[in-house]
Amino acid sequence: MSRSAPPVPHRDFGAGGPTLAQTGERALLEQLVAISAAAFQRAPAAGDDAAVWTPPAGRDLAVSVDALVEDVDFRRGWIGPRQLGRRAFGVAVSDLAGTGAEPLTCLATLCARPSEQLEDVLEIQRGLCEAAAEAGCAVVGGDVSAIDGPLVIDVCVSGSLPTGRALRRAAGRAGDLLLVTGVLGRSAAGLRLLLDGLAPAAVTEQDWVDAHLQPVTRLREGARLLEVGVRCAGDVSDGVLVDAERTARASSCAVEIWRDSLPVDAHLSDRFGQGWLELAVAGGEDFELLAATPESDAADLMRAWPGELAPLTVIGALTAGSGLRLLDRRGGIEQTAPRTLAAHFS
């Protein structure tokens, strides 16, 4: 069984206290560093402008960066500051999960208005450090800056993995089956409820909102794929259609997705009718893993898959050619692919 996110102490944004302007940069940095030092029992070197870290011998480094921008990636009315810190780390580290890497270090940049309340910023740092510690990743530094605009959190993570063994989108081959971890569409369903201003009407709907606000990244699943010799994988952050086509293009293949094989919450169609498919394949921010493996290996991979991990489901295949087709089932009739909901600049 896959894990769920742990409960997070809740404080709303703007609950009171001094502002960053009243606190000053030096005092702010001291408090941010103190939170990190307490979380990892390792204080950053005093006065240094760069973190120094010795990577494990004989291993490759994987590095990724992701930003959350207020009113683009989150809204204050939806999420508390500690939840936001956890989400910022989870979104960034999901890209490491897609390579099979073991997290090592994290750097975080915060851009905030001088009127931002100090305690909100400290809560973001606490959430970030909590999530990083749970992943075995140390927050080793970062930056702060004043901004005349929305709150921005930019997180850079690094991880290590055996040399030459990284899971890569370009390692697929025509004939490979596509497998996805977990369940698709819950995060997009939660976002739809939030955008519509609807309070969750049932436990299932609260689970959708939680899937969006507190994603559980698939680090252990990525490590397992790497361990058993899978070579092609990546995370699903932009919707399974986009990420499957991205994998196919990198592997010089075409791709088929089989609608009736998709692992989706059975309640999606009850709540959203025919809109369930759009949420499941085009909604984005599932933060599951999408892997490709030879069909001859897929049955053994799934048979030996540990029960405590998010389940694997075959949802399609790489084929010769180019482009993406959505079929109603394997060998079935082509369907109209829903529009992508998760793209920036569109």
12 is in an annotated binding site: no
Q: Are 242 and 235 in contact (CB under 8 A)?
A: no
300 annotated to bind ligand: no
270 is in an annotated binding site: no
- Tell me the C-alpha distance between 86 and 171, whole Å: 31
CB 336 within 8 A of CB 282: no
Helix (H, G, I), strand (E, B) or coil at 2: coil
Token digits of residue 307: 């029960």
Q: Which residues of 113-146 are buried (b: 16+ CB within 10 A; e: fewer)?
A: eeebbbbbbbbbbbbbbbbbbbbebbbbbbebee
Q: What's the Cα-to-Cα distance from 296 to each of 169, 226, 260, 330, rounded to whole Å?
A: 19, 17, 22, 17
Residue 169 annotated as binding?
yes
Say if residue 328 carries a ligand binding annotation. Answer: no
CB contact set of 323 (below 8 Å; sequence gap of 6+):
245, 248, 254, 255
Neighbouring C-alpha atoms within 13 Å toward the C-beta of 309: 21
66 known ligand binder: yes
Q: Residue 238, annotated ligand binder?
A: yes
Annotation-wise, does 285 bind a ligand?
A: yes
Question: Element (H or E) spanning 246, and its range?
Answer: helix 240-250
71 assigned to a ligand binding site: no
Give the Å distances, CA to CA, from 272 to 49, 186, 192, 276, 278.
50, 12, 10, 6, 10
Is 95 assigned to a binding site?
Answer: yes
Annotated binding site: 49, 64, 66, 73, 95, 142-143, 169, 235, 237-238, 285
Annotated binding site for substrate, which residues? 73, 285
Annotated binding site for ATP: 142-143, 169, 237
